[in-house]
Every structure is written in C-alpha cells, then in structure tokens.
Amino acid sequence: MKVRILVSFKDSVLDPQGQTVKNALLTLGYGFVRDVRQGKVFELDLEGVSEDEARRLVPEIASKVLANPIIETFVWDILA
C-alpha cells in the first residue's frame, strides 16, 4: 500500500523558504503570486498493511518521525 503524507508549517509559523520562493517569483515577473508556503511530502510504500492498520500507523509515524507537532501539521491519504 502506498500512502502520501504532506507536512507543512502551521499557519502561525513563519516560512522563510516559502518567502524566498515568493520573492524569487515576484522578481521574475510573476506578480500575481500572493503567497507561497513550502513543505515536505513523503511517499511510503508499506508491505502487508491493511487499510485499518494504516489508519492507525501512518498518523503515528507522521507525528513521531516525519513532522514536528509543535510547529508542523500533516495530512495524509492512501494512494493505492
């Protein structure tokens, strides 16, 4: 089973990478870009895991290993 986890900063946390990308885009003439937020994506290939088990294990993995719950949030879904 493949799952995808998106990890991004909480809205209240500054995102300097996103700001840098936004400024680059404005400099390049893409003036319609109002905001950019950058985050991480993880695609995990899980072996012999049922959908029910994934619903328990993936949030555990995401909050323990992939994201820092103090400053980041995550969303995830099953790809296949």
| CA separation for the pair 47, 57 (Å, rounded) | 12
**Should residue 44 be labelled a site residue for a copy of itself when binding is judged by CB under 8 A?**
yes
Of 13, 23, 26, 30, the one binding a copy of itself by CB under 8 A: 30
**Should residue 28 be labelled a site residue for a copy of itself when binding is judged by CB under 8 A?**
yes
CA dihedral (55, 61, 62, 63) positive or negative: positive
| CA separation for the pair 38, 41 (Å, rounded) | 10
10's CB contacts (< 8 A; 6+ apart) are 71, 72, 73
Least gap, CB of 70 to a copy of itself (angstroms): 19
- Cβ proximity to a copy of itself: between 14 and 28 the closer is 28
Q: Which residues bind a copy of itself (CB under 8 A)?
A: 6, 8, 18, 21, 24-25, 28, 30, 32-49, 57, 61, 64-66
